[in-house]
Every structure is written in C-alpha cells, then in structure tokens.
Amino acid sequence: MSITAQAATPATGLTSAEVEQRRRDGLTNDVPERASRSVRDIVKANIFTRINAILGVLFILVLATGSIIDGMFGLLIVANSAVGIIQEVRAKKTLDQLAIVGQAQPVVRREGKATKVAPQEIVLGDIIELGPGDQIVVDGQVTESELLEVDESLLTGEADPIDKTVAAPVMSGSFVVSGSGAYRATKVGKDAYAAKLADEASKFTLVNSELRNGIDTILKVITYLLIPAGLLSIYNQLVSSKESWRPAVNGMVAALVPMVPEGLVLMTSIAFAVGVVRLGRRQCLVQELPAIEGLARVDVVCADKTGTLTENGMRLSEIRPVDANGVGTALALPSAVSGAVDGESSSGGGELAQVLAAMASDDPRPNASVAAIAEALPDSPGWKPSGVAPFSSAKKWSGFSYGEHGNWLLGAPDVLLDPNSETAAVAQEVGAKGLRVLLLAGSDRPVDAADAPGQVTPAALVVLEQRVRPDAKETLDYFASQHVSTKVISGDNAVSVGAVATSLGMAGGADPVDARTLPTDQNELADVLDQKTVFGRVRPDQKRAMVSALQSRGHTVAMTGDGVNDVLALKDADIGVAMGSGSPATRSVAQIVLLDNKFATLPYVVGEGRRVIGNIERVSNLFLTKTVYSVVLAFLVGIAGIGSQIFHYKAIGYPFLPRHVTIAAWFTIGIPAFILSLAPNNERARTGFVGRVMRLAIPSGLVIGVMTFIAYLIAYKGPDVGETAKIQAGTTALITLLIIAVWVLAIVARPWNWWKMLLVAGSVVGYLILFAVPFTRHFFKLDPSNIALTTAAIICGAIGVVLVEVAWWVSAKLHGETPHLLPSPPGEND
C-alpha cells in the first residue's frame, strides 16, 4: 500500500525531531544502495553450480573404489569455488565503494538549511530542492517552481520536457531539464514509482553480453553431447571392457571428467572480476559488466567538448561592450571589472558589469559559464528579478527581467544575433580561437514572455577561457591508432568547437558543421556523419538522432557526456560514459562513470575490454579442445567396446585413470589458461566469438581424440594382460595426447613473444619432469620404458601436430585471416 503525505510541510522543511520520528516509523527511502549480490549469495552461487555437482558425484564414485589419488580432480571443486568467491567478493567491494562515491546526492531542506544527503536518508515529507540535471529520486509534489521543466522520457517514453508548476506530481526516475524548484516527498522506498526500475538498472549484471551468451551456447551443446558420450562410457566400462568394478568405475570417471569444461566459466568470471578491480583502481565505476566488453567493440566515440575534451572550470577572460560603433575595447580584468562595478568605466562597463553580476548571483543553479562570471564579479547590485527564463539546451539562452533596470539575456551570439551583423562576425572570430563567447543583450519584452526573446539589442560580448585537458590529445591519438573514429558533438558554437578540435590535431577540426544545418532524414544524417567529425550547436534531440544514425550504419557507438543535454544520447548509445562531476541524471543512465573526470581513462577501459575478450577467447579454445577430444575418445572407445561384443574381438577399456586426465590438464590448460586470462591483450574485439572458438577446438579435438585412440590401439594388448602392460598402454596414449595438446597451447598463444614461448616451454618441462622422476612416475602410474611404444606415441603425436597446424592455417585462409607467428605490426602489444 502506498504511503502518501497528508499534512502540508512548511517551506523550511522537516525538523530533526520529525525526521527521527519518521525513521522510527519506517517511512524512509529504504532502497538498497546497490543491487549487487550479497556475500552469502556469491558463496552459494559459486559452490552450488552444475559443474560442481557433476564433479562431486564423480568424486564420490572414485572414493568408493578406494583410490583417493584418482580423486585429485575433486580439488577442482574447492579451487573453482574458492577462486570464484574471492574474485567476485573483491569486485563487489570495489564496485560498492565506487558506487557510494558516484552516487547522486539530493539536496534536502531541513529546518531551513539545505543539505546533501544520500537517497536512502530521505524520509516521507522531506522538501527536496531541484536544479538542472538533478534526478528526482522519490515520488513527490512540487512546492516551488521557477519555470521548472522535467524530462520523464526514461519512464514514459515521452520525449518533450513537461512543465511542472506548484502542486504538480513528479516521479522518481525523471530528471530536471531546466529551471529550478522544490518538491515534497510523498512516496518513498519501494512505494516510489521507479524503485524497481532503478533497482534493476543498477544491477551489476552479465546480461546482453555476446561473450557470456556465446559461452552459454557452447555449454548447452556440450551438455547434449555429454549425455550419449557418458552413457556410452558407462556401458563400455561396466559391461564391454570385462574389467572388475573398481577399474571399470575409474575408467568411466576418467572418461567423463575431462568432458566437463570446469574452468571455462571460472576463468571468464575471473577475467571480468579482475577487470572491474583494475578499472576501479583508476576510479572507473562499471555500472553494468557488459560495458567492459561493449566498449572494446566500439568503433565510434561521440565526445562532448565541454567537460570531456576541455576541463569543466572556466575563467572570465574579457567583457567587450557593444555600441552603435560596433564592438568596443575589452574591459581589463580583474581590476577594471571592480572599477566598472563601482561605475568608474567610461565605456558603459559599470552597468554591464552590474548586470552580469546580478544575473550570475540570481541564478540558483549556475552552469560552468555563469559560475565563472560569478567568481569574477562577486558584488551583485541586489536587484530583485521580476521575470526569469532559465537556460535550456534547446533555446541556448537564459534571462532576467529587472523592472526599471531592463530585460537582459545571456546566451549564444549565433542564436541571438543576426549572422550578418558585425557583432556576430567578431564573436565568430573570437570563438575561432577556441574561446567560449556569450552575448549579453537587452530585450524589448520580459524574458518570461511567451514570445521572448523578442527584439534583441546586443550590449557586450562575454569571453571565457576554456582549458583543454592535457591528456585529451593523447586519448584522441590512441583512438585514431586503434581505428576508432571520434566525433566531437557539442552544443557550443561550431567554430569554437572546431578550434578546440584543431588544437588537438583532429582531422576535420577546420571544417566544423553547424548542427542547425543538418538534415532530419536518418540516412542523409548518417551520410554527413560518415564524412564529418566536428559538430557544434547540437540540440539534445539531435545528439540522440546522431547516435541512432551511426548505429543504423552498423557502428557500435560510445557516447561521453556530463550534462543534462547528453542524457538521451547516453541512454541510446551502445555504451554511455559519464563524468563523475556530471549531472546525476547522466551518471544514472551511463554504463560507465569516470569518477576522476578524466577522458584519458577511456583507453584503459577499452584496453581492459580487449584483454578480457581476447583472453577468454584463447582460454575457451583450450577448454573446448579438451572437451571435444574427451568426447571423441569416449565415443571411439565406446564404439570399439560395442564392436568387441558383436564381433568378439578383444574388449577395450578406457585408456586413462582419473589421475591421468588431471595431470593432462595441469600444463596444457589449467596453469596456462590462468596466465593467459590475465595477460595483456590488445587485439581488437570482433563479433563471432562462438564460430572462431569452434574453428580451432573442433578440428584440434578431433585430431587429438583420433590420434590418441590410434596410439592406444597400437599399445593395447587386451584386458587380461598384466598391470605393467596396461600402464604402458595408457602411458603411450597419454604421451600422444600431451604432445598434440601442448602444440594446441602453442597455437592459442600466438602471436608468440618471449613470455608466451616461456609458458609453452615451461609446460613441456613440467611434463618431462613428471615422466623422468621415479616418484612421480610411480605416483601417477606412468611407464615410458617400452621404447617401441614410446616411439610410436611420439610419431602419432608428431602426425597430430602436423594435422593441427595445417588445420589452423587452412581455417585462417578460408576465413580471410592472416595468421601470425610473431607480433605484427611491430610495436603492437598483443
């Protein structure tokens, strides 16, 4: 049942006693800080898995035979669960800490004082102040309105902002576009309209991930293959092989264990979790896990200028009065400004400075430009405004009416002025230097009139300096080197935007496009976007249309921004990236928040995504190759076993003990996969993950399975021979398997560099030690002493290596890829 405020609350807000009473009554906004899994849920999810269940049953069967050594694979259950829990808990702590830092903090009025609080601290009846870009965090009713406009598109789909007058309802999940005001909280916690939506939106989730979806698809196929392969192995070991029940069960378990890709999901989780922690150290909050993967696939970055390429802070550079003779000499700052405020300027600067000081002082929610003016002109004349027109991205100006002191506008010169006027030309010339230029102008009617601004009389050009971020050029150069196109999309004057882009070495900076000339047709707009890179005077709806046009041409688009005018484009982009200092609305819809406000962090996010995707693809090759050869070998042995029943030749048991399949995975999959999953990798992400993985795993698995079976047939003398002969036959098959599997590892590790070569060499050395040391030979039941059989195993392995190598080259050629043995081009870090 909804809880609605009944009594009116004074404009001063609740008292401390009233707040405390509401908390005791449970009338708080008790929504979770972040919809991440609890530690208890993480532990349960990592222990009670399908793979652990399969391995657990097989482990119990092996223990029943009394062979504890062959149950070593049971350690995988502990290792999988422990590593998964540790990594996910680390990622959870990192995310939760960053989420608190990046959390929107509404301004609540209590006992007449405005204070920032966490959304969870709001209680029923609180008065919450609003300004441009603020999120509405609970449902409420407007108590104060200064031309308040709210965008509810994230909830209702309605694109146009809605005027909110006193007593109008507001819904949580919407945000303020322009104006200011306050509202009383009437529904809090789970009763609020968007509580469930917000809960879902803030989840740290794996949905819509091509990588995870691909792995799920592969696991489903493997599950279907496991059923017939498992049944065939069970029948062969318990019926056809003529073995006693203990070795029969061990053989059955040895056949089934390697079919389960026990480390694939684990390595995927580890790679993502480590990525989150690494990015967290760079003050990058990943609100949705697929964002790491998604940004690695991005081929177009749409960057806002202000706050992204330039720093948020500005400085008032000069005020140039405009009179009948044109644009006058600039007033020197700051000393001349203080004199102008005192009325000492002979050029009309005194009145102009007073007007600017009054407008800056009376703006309840100043943007960066107005804040810079307020800092330079702190002495307001104290005029009382009779009319207010707040700034909005659509009209590009704000205004105040001061009765006898006039109606004043502050906004974009190219919007308010005749483009053919001398003043407009001067503003264009100044803006071409990369400076921000605003026009202070008088109007012949109140600024809040329906037909405002009316007739505009220019009074002064207000020039502000923007500081280009020192790391912006390096970041743009990185994207260019990675074949990622960058589009600068800004609401500022096109020439000014172009000047900033040119200073950063961007192609197209000298030929900026004024968005007011852009076509509305999506195809025509996409054509322009393909050819041009710098756009100015872009409206919020145009930013959204530009993102959609780029996506219509098959591009994966990332949008960066920090202002309320970026919200809709951020929401529609494949990946939305918000600055930590940006408006709460932008941070709420973005998948990635750069808490340190550094555009230069984006390359690290792209690099982390590429590392995750590329390495998981490599690791998947290893695990799935093992699954394929295990299924193939189980089918071959099973079919041979059935054939022995029909045609009465010697029965064939499974060649390996469970301990053999355990050590086979140590140096060909387990340790190398862990290292490869965390290694540097800057290969560009591509679609088609499942197809590429199976192109290597299926032929490699087939070759390993068939050649291992052939080597086993050569060495196998029947079920009635002595224990030594059985061990030698199994060893022969194992040697063949290991030779080809190590070569598959070498292929997966390509292009080779020093540490990858060392990794492959280390795997070879590891197996040589296992076969050479008497203790390990005895412990793992290995016997390579039969020279003839060992030679046959090596020959079978060599043939398998050639076949796998040929399959790799042929597959690459058929799919138009150029295989590389060594890193290429030089200097590229793979």
Q: Looking at residue 199, what is its pLDDT?
A: 47
Distance, in Å, from the CA atom of 510 to the CA atom of 501, rounded to the nearest integer, reads 8
Q: Collect all residues with Cβ–Cβ distance below 8 Å to 615 and sequence separation of at least 6.
A: 271, 676, 677, 678, 679, 681
Please name every residue paired with 410 in a beta bridge, in sequence order, or none if there are none: 398, 440
The rounded distance, in Å, linking the Cα atoms of 281 and 302 is 25
Q: Does the pLDDT at position 190 exceed 50?
A: yes
The CATH number covering residue 637 comes to 1.20.1110.10
Considering only 158-172, 176-190, 371-385, 775-789, which range has the smallest mean pLDDT? 158-172
| Closest C-alpha to 330, from 465, 422, 437, 463 | 463
User: Which residue among 597, 615, 635 closes a domain?
Assistant: 597
The answer to whether residue 558 is domain-embedded is yes
Higher pLDDT, 70 or 458: 458
Greater confidence (489 vs 329) lies with 489
In a domain, 422, yes or no: yes
Indicate whether 354 and 440 sit together in one domain: yes
Residue 830 designated active-site: no
Express each pLDDT in 121-132 by its tens digit: 889 889 999 888
- Mean pLDDT along residues 26-32: 75
Overall average pLDDT of the 153-161 stretch = 64
Residue that finishes a domain, picked among 434, 468, 502: 468
Q: With pLDDT > 70 as the criterion, what percentage of the chain qualifies? A: 84
Predicted local distance difference test score (pLDDT) of residue 534? 92
Which range is most confident: 414-418, 665-669, 784-788? 784-788
Q: What is the pLDDT of residue 699?
A: 95
112 shares its domain with 217:
no
- Classify residue 529: in a domain, yes or no: yes
DSSP reduced 3-state for 114: strand
**CATH code, domain carrying 420:** 3.40.1110.10
Decide which of 72 and 739 is more confident: 739
Find the angle CA(694)-CA(700)-CA(701) to the nearest 5 degrees. 85
Whole-angstrom distance, CA of residue 28 vs CA of residue 8 = 18
163 in the same domain as 115: yes
Each residue's pLDDT tens digit, 390-434: 887 777 888 999 988 899 999 888 888 888 888 888 888 888 877
Answer yes or no: do 451 and 473 share one domain. no
Instruction: Note whether 327 and 422 are same-domain residues.
Output: yes
Residues 220, 314: one domain?
Answer: no
Q: Is residue 362 part of a domain?
A: yes
CATH code (residue 533): 3.40.50.1000
What's the total number of domains in the chain?
Answer: 4
> Both 304 and 329 in a single domain?
no
Do 302 and 370 lie in a common domain? no
Please identify which of the residues 139, 304, 363, 562 carries the catalytic annotation. Answer: 304
Q: Are residues 447 and 557 in the same domain?
A: no
Chosen domain end from 178, 200, 222: 200
What average pLDDT does range 644-670 have in this prediction?
77
Domain that holds residue 140: 16-30+107-200
Answer yes or no: is 142 within a domain: yes
Contact call for residues 745 and 668 (beta carbons, < 8 A): yes
pLDDT score of 758? 94
Would you report the helix, strand and coil content of the chain in percent, each value rounded to 5?
55, 15, 30
Same domain, 635 and 754: yes
611 or 583, higher pLDDT: 611
Supply the CATH number for residue 139's domain.
2.70.150.10
Cα 308 to Cα 558: distance, rounded to the nearest angstrom: 13
Residue 343 reports pLDDT greater than 50: no
- What is the model's pTM? 0.69
Q: Cα separation of 560 and 575, whole Å?
A: 9
* Residues 246 and 321 placed together within one structural domain of the fold: no
Does the residue 40 lie in any domain? no
Q: Does 2 reside within a domain?
A: no
* pLDDT interval class at 2 (50, 70, 90): very low
DSSP track, 494-520: HHHHHHHHHHTT-TTTTS-EEGGG--S
**From residue 500, how far is each of 12, 314, 435, 577 by CA, in Å?**
45, 14, 9, 21
CB pairs under 8 A, 24+ apart, for 103-108? 103/33, 104/134, 104/135, 104/137, 104/584, 104/587, 104/588, 105/584, 106/134, 106/135, 106/137, 106/584, 107/134, 108/13
Express each pLDDT in 269-322 by its tens digit. Answer: 777 777 778 888 888 887 766 677 777 888 899 988 877 788 766 788 888 888
- Residue 76 in any domain: the answer is yes
Confidence of residue 176 (pLDDT cuts 50, 70, 90): confident
Looking at the structure, tell me whether residues 418 and 565 fall in a common domain: no
Measure the CA angle with vertex 614, ends 609 and 618; round to 5°: 150
pLDDT at 793: 96
